[in-house]
Amino acid sequence: MAGTLLLPLLPATVPSVRVRGIAALFGALQLLVGLLCWQHPPADLQLSWLPKLGLRLDLGLDGLSLPLVLLTALITSLSILSAAADQSRPRLFFSLMLATNLGVVTGLLARNALLFLLAFELVLIPITLLVAVWGGEKRAGAAVRFLLYSAVSGLALLAAVLAFAWFNPAGPLFAFEDLRQAQFSPTAQRWILALLLLSFGLKLPVFPLHGWQPFTYGQAPTPVVMLLAGSVSKLGAYGLLRFGVGFLPDTWAAWSPWIAAAGAISAVYGALNAIVQSDIRRLMAYSSLGHMGLLVLGLSAATPLSLQGAVAQMLAHGIIVALLFACVGLIERKTGTTAIPELSGLMNPLRGLPFTMGMLLLAMMAAAGIPGLAGFPAELLVFEGSWTTFPRATLVSLIASGFTAVYAIRLFNRVGFGRLDNERADWSSTCWSERAPAMALTVLVIAAGLWPTALTGWSETESTGLALRSQPFLRRDGAQPFSLVAVTLPTASELRTS
C-alpha cells in the first residue's frame, strides 16, 4: 500500500529502471514480511472501520492464505522485474501493479467477507487500466471485456455477501468465524453457492465463463499477465475453497458432481483449444483454463488429499504460468512476435534464444505434468484425491493431461526446433538481468517438483479440517502400508528368480 501511494509521488525525472527497482523492492519487502509471518505467526489484526455495517478491518493469516500471500508477493516482485527497463510511464504502471498486489493480498488476509469483497473489487480497477493503457493492439476491447466480466463477477460476489448477511439467522454478520458457525437454510445455501460459483468461476476462469481470458492474456503486457494468471486468478480458487467448501459444505457436497464435471470439461476444453492456437499467448491462456479445471476438480471432490492437491495446484500453477509468460515476454521482446507460424528454430545456440527456450521447455513440461517439476505433485494429488469420489471426471482430466503434452510438444517443435529464419534472425541475445526473473521461477519449479512439501506443507491442517469426504484407504497413523518396514524382505535367492 505504501508503495502504491508513494510511487506516483516520485519526481518525473527518476529513470524508469529505478522506479522498477523501487517497486520490486516493495514486493520483496512484502515477501520478507510474509516469510517472517511464517516463522512467527502474528496475531490477527482487528480494527473497527464501519461498525454499523459490520465492516471491520479483520486481517489474519492461516495455512491457506499464507502460501498464497507469499506467492503473490513473489510474483509481484518478479513480474515487476520482468517489465522492460524502459517501461513507458513507469510511475503509474508500477503503482498500478502494486495496487493490484494490494487488492489480492488484502483479499487473502481478510477475515471478513465484506473486506474480501472490497479487496476483490479493488483488483479490478488497476488491471483494467493496465490492460487499457499498456496493452497490445486490441487493448481497448480486451480491457472492456475484462471489465465487464469482472464487473459481473464482482456483482455476483456482492450479492452473495449480502445474501450471507440476509439469510443468516444469527443476524447480519460478515466475519469468517461467524459465517462458519452460521446455520443457513438449504434454499439460502443454494442461492449463495450459485452466486459464488458464478463470481469465482468467472475469476478463475472455468468453462464456460472464460470468455475474457484468451483475449486479456493475449493483449495485456507481460508483467500484468504474469500477475493476473499467476496470482490474481488464484483469488477465485481461494474464494471457492474458503466460502464454498468452508461455509456451505452441504450444498457443495450435493452439487459437487456438477462442479467436478465443469472442472473436467474445462480441463479437456482448455487443452483442446490450446492445441489449435496459433499465438503463444492465447495457447497459454487456454492451457491455464485447463489447469484451473484440474483445480476445480480437486475442490469439488473435497477429500483431504484432493484439497491439498488443489492448494498445491494453485501454487504450482502460479509459478509455472508466471514462468511461461516470463519466457513468452522475452521471446516477444527479442523477436517482436508471439505468432507461432512466424517463429522457428529458436533453439539455435548462436543466433536463437537457447536459454529462454530451455526455460520455456521446462515450463511447458511442468505444465504437462512431467514428474520432477512443480506441476506433477499437484496433479497427482488432485487425481488420487478425486479418483475415489469422481472416477469418471478424473479419467477425463487424465486424458486432458495427455492433450497438454500434445500442445506442449507442438509448440516446442514449431518454435524451438526447426530451422532458424535467416532473414529475420538478427536479435540481440537476452542479458542476465532480463533472464533473472525467469531463472528464479525455474529454480522454484524444479525445487517444488523435487520437494513437493513446499507446495503441500502449508495447508495440511486447514484442508484436512475443510474436507467433506474421507479417503478410508489412507491411514493417518504412521502410514505403515507405504513403508518398506511393513513388508517382510525376501532373501536374495528369492529375488533372483523374481
The grid cell for 34 is 510474509
Retrieve residue 245's grid coordinates: 467448501
Residues 228-257 within binding reach of other proteins (CB under 8 A): none
User: Distance (Å, rounded) from C-alpha 187 to C-alpha 38?
Assistant: 39
Which three three-digit cell numbers place residue 481?
502400508
Torsion of CA 57, 60, 66, 69, to 10 degrees: 10
CB 123 within 8 A of CB 232: yes
First and final CA of the chain: distance in angstroms? Answer: 64
Residue 242's region, left for phi above 0, alpha for psi from -120 to 50, else beta, is: alpha
Site track for other proteins across 292-321, x = CB under 8 A: -----------xxx-xx-------------
Using DSSP, state whether 46 is helix, strand or coil.
strand
> Whose CA is closest to 467, among 147, 246, 206?
246
For the CB of residue 366, give the shortest distance to other proteins in the complex, in Å: 11
339-378 residues near other proteins, rule: CB under 8 A: 345, 347-350, 354-355, 365, 370-372, 377
Residue 47 binds to other proteins (criterion: CB under 8 A) = no
Taking the complex as a whole, the smallest distance from the CB of residue 45 to other proteins amounts, in Å, to 30
Closest distance of CB 343 from other proteins, Å: 14
- Residue from 391, 424, 443, 465 touching other proteins (CB under 8 A): that is 391
The angle that helices 280-301 and 375-387 make with each other, rounded to 10 degrees, is 40
Among 175, 194, 405, 439, the residue binding other proteins under the rule CB under 8 A is: 405
Task: Out of 4, 266, 273, 287, name the contact with other proteins by CB under 8 A.
Answer: 273
Question: Which residue lies nearer to other proteins by CB, 83 or 311?
Answer: 311
Residue carrying the nine cell digits 498464497: 68
- Binding-site size for other proteins (CB under 8 A) equals 88
Pick the closer one to other proteins by CB: 223 or 385: 385
Cell of 283: 495457447
Distances, alpha carbon 6 to alpha carbons 22, 76, 92, 96, in Å: 10, 17, 11, 11
Region from 10-18, 59-67, 96-104, 398-406 binding other proteins, contact rule CB under 8 A: 398-406
Segment 423-482, which members bind other proteins (CB under 8 A)? 452-453, 456-457, 460, 463-464, 471, 473-476, 479, 481-482
- Per CB under 8 A, the list member of 375, 383, 434, 442 interacting with other proteins is 383
Site for other proteins in 472-491 (CB under 8 A): 473-476, 479, 481-484, 486-491
Nearer to other proteins, 332 or 460 (CB): 460
Site string for other proteins, 79-118 (x = CB under 8 A): ----------------------------------------
Query: 3-class DSSP state for residue 112?
Result: strand
The reply to whether 403 sits near other proteins by the rule CB under 8 A is: yes
User: Is the Cβ of residue 42 or residue 490 nearer to other proteins in the bound state?
Assistant: 490
**Spatial separation of the C-alpha atoms in residues 19 and 31, rounded to whole Å:** 19
CA angle, 18 then 24 then 29, to 5°: 125
Please give the C-alpha separations between residue 445 and each of 38, 99, 189, 412, 482, in angstroms, as whole numbers.
Answer: 21, 26, 38, 19, 26
Burial of 53 (0-12, 13-18, 19+ CB in 10 A): exposed
Q: How far is the CB of 261 from other proteins (least distance, A)?
A: 16
Q: Tell which one of 111, 139, 210, 291 touches other proteins (CB under 8 A).
A: 210
> Which residues inside 161-200 make contact with other proteins, applying CB under 8 A?
none
Q: Which is nearer to other proteins, 70 or 267 (CB)?
A: 267
Beta bridge partners of 55: 50
Q: Is 140 in the site for other proteins (CB under 8 A)?
A: yes
- Least distance CB 381 / other proteins (angstroms): 7
